[in-house]
A and B are shown apart, each in its own frame.
Chain A
């Protein structure tokens, strides 16, 4: 028995020792556990504001207020989102975020809200909901910053879920944020791996159309317009554009080959030709594996084939890129994120205070108005007999005169002559 146990124990200790050795264990994630900042994230619950929160009551209150006044406040939604610890209130959070997005307070939505929602959804494993909400920015307003992007891409890499990784990368592309080397390398890795087995990209089914023509009256007809950016729905084009935009400014062979692949998928013939020309003039040697991913039915395949190519282990290249960026950026990111968390807590408390003060002053003004009205009533009752004559005069002035309705001139009845015979009319023949 011990012999069987021994190698098992040995493997466990080996794994512990090799915690930071990513190259051997593919299953390991790129980012260290410290990057996930779990403790500091849980630490937010120690805040007195969040401790007092009862999620069910808060949701009920926000819902009631929204139904009465059609208004919802960004700070309240932020507190609700940050106070979630398990998966029971996930649907409610999405609902609240949706309502907030459609109200006037969207401009004040805090960054911590979207961060909290994304973290909660990933913790509960609600991947589809999260990705759909990220795609639907007009209705939810959840945006990724570099930290959350890195977390998500890392988790999807661990689960070998390249489709979700490509979708997250496409969000970065839509916001045109290419500054963070770690996000860049992770996105390229995911997109490249997605292309090996493209599947499961959500297809939004077209709404049912009746067979007969149904005419709908609208005020103004909207001309069809495809802006080729937010309106992209074809997964090939999206992944192609992501690859192309991430690798645009760089000149080494890996990035250039990914650029060509991306532009081909995105279907921009003239740009492909330009890049090919550039490569041939600079005599760059590109990577065969990447060029081979170009689909067979592409028109200028001959031009592409004419490029110098060499073989290389692309996966390894991309992975080493990621590891380098991890070493470069990891610590800085962790420090920045911890600072951001404390800033967010301070901001939240300030915003809550301001909101409380605003509501208090509004309530006080309303109370004062009520008091004034009540006092006036009482005054008229107490001083009635003193002001009796004045009141009688006032009654006359309060009389409302409505303007007379004009129905038109009084028309007299026509006298119809009974012996009247209408004349006969002949069509006159006129010669021109």
Chain B
């Protein structure tokens, strides 16, 4: 090819927001725009354009209602600094419904609410309880404090009586890539 462009590569696949919105009547208000980067998740992530304002040279600010991985955000968001990214794709009106309904109910990971105390601490607590004269021979379980789950994840803390999916183990547990630990006793 006679013209060879040299520069940094990007993993974007699509058009800039201005190239989409400038081609549509009324700047595409009410249409659904999708970022190719978010299409790697099985749940649909899309943005419905609510309002568009133009800036000089091909830059555009759009206010839209975002749905990320199947969960809509409560308040509309503003796309300004990321409108230059050549990553956006317009969805035809005919396919809008089909695209936005593409939610697969994946298993929600439920984390246990309580956990056992470490052994030495257990002993100490038992001794304390005996000194105080409490009749319990078992140590009450320790309630786990999790860092606040983000809206984007599908994790949940088990409520009373619910069976947790995920097991938190003292020690190694099952490694993510067992091939690296072959032949080693865990």
Contact = CB atoms under 8 A, between A and B. Distances in A.
Interface of A: 70, 101-107, 137-138, 141, 143, 174-177, 209-223, 225, 227, 229-230, 245, 248
| Cβ-closest 7 pairs across A and B | A209-B2, A218-B7, A107-B54, A104-B56, A143-B25, A106-B54, A138-B22
22 contacts: A70-B56, A104-B54, A107-B52, A137-B22, A137-B23, A138-B22, A143-B25, A174-B23, A175-B24, A176-B93, A209-B3, A211-B2, A213-B2, A214-B4, A220-B7, A220-B8, A220-B10, A222-B86, A223-B12, A223-B13, A225-B15, A245-B94
B92 interface: yes
A210 B93 contact: no
B113 interface: no
Contacts of B19: 138, 230
A176 B92 contact: yes
A218 B20 CA distance: 22
A346 B111 CA distance: 63
Contacts of A227: 14-15, 89-90
Contact of A213 (B1, B24, B54, B94): B1
Given A102-B57, A220-B10, 16 more contacts: A102-B56, A106-B54, A107-B53, A138-B22, A209-B1, A209-B3, A210-B3, A213-B3, A218-B7, A221-B5, A222-B10, A225-B13, A227-B89, A227-B90, A229-B92, A230-B19
Interface of B: 1-15, 18-20, 22-25, 27, 52-58, 86, 89-90, 92-94
Nearest to A228: B92
B25 A175 contact: yes
A167 to B, nearest CB: 15
Contacts of A229: 90, 92
A177 B54 CA distance: 23
Nearest to A107: B54
Nearest to A224: B13
Contacts of A212: 2
B2 A221 contact: no
A106 B93 CA distance: 25
A213 B4 contact: yes
B111 to A, nearest CB: 40
Nearest to A176: B93
A71 to B, nearest CB: 8
Nearest to A222: B86
Query: How would you classify the secondary structure of chain B's contact residues: helix, strand, loop or mixed?
Result: mixed
B154 to A, nearest CB: 31
A142 B148 CA distance: 50
B26 to A, nearest CB: 8
Contacts of A222: 10, 12, 86
Contacts of B94: 176, 245, 248
Contacts of B57: 102
B54 to A, nearest CB: 4
A141 B23 CA distance: 8
B24 A216 contact: no
Contacts of B12: 222-223
B4 to A, nearest CB: 5
Contact of B7 (A213, A217, A230): A217
Contacts of A70: 56
Residue of A210, A219, A220 contacting most chain B CB atoms (<10 Å) = A220
B6 A217 contact: yes
Contacts of B11: 223
B29 to A, nearest CB: 11
Residue of B7, B20, B27 contacting most chain A CB atoms (<10 Å) = B7
Contacts of A103: 56
Nearest to A175: B25
B79 to A, nearest CB: 15
Contact of A216 (B5, B14, B90): B5
Nearest to A216: B5
Nearest to A137: B23
Contacts of B58: 102, 138
A271 to B, nearest CB: 12
Contacts of A101: 22
B9 A221 contact: yes
B92 A225 contact: no
A230 B19 CA distance: 9
A218 B2 contact: no
Residue of A141, A216, A222 contacting most chain B CB atoms (<10 Å) = A222
Contact of B8 (A177, A211, A219): A219
B99 to A, nearest CB: 15
Contacts of A210: 2-3
B94 to A, nearest CB: 7
Nearest to B92: A176
Contacts of B14: 225, 227
A210 B1 CA distance: 9
A50 B24 CA distance: 30
A211 B11 CA distance: 30
A223 B25 contact: no
Contacts of A138: 18-19, 22-23, 58
Given A137-B23, A143-B25, A229-B90, A219 B7 contact: yes
A105 to B, nearest CB: 8
B91 to A, nearest CB: 10
A72 to B, nearest CB: 10
Nearest to B84: A220
Residue of A70, A143, A176 contacting most chain B CB atoms (<10 Å) = A176
A217 B6 CA distance: 5
Contacts of B55: 104
Contacts of A220: 7-10
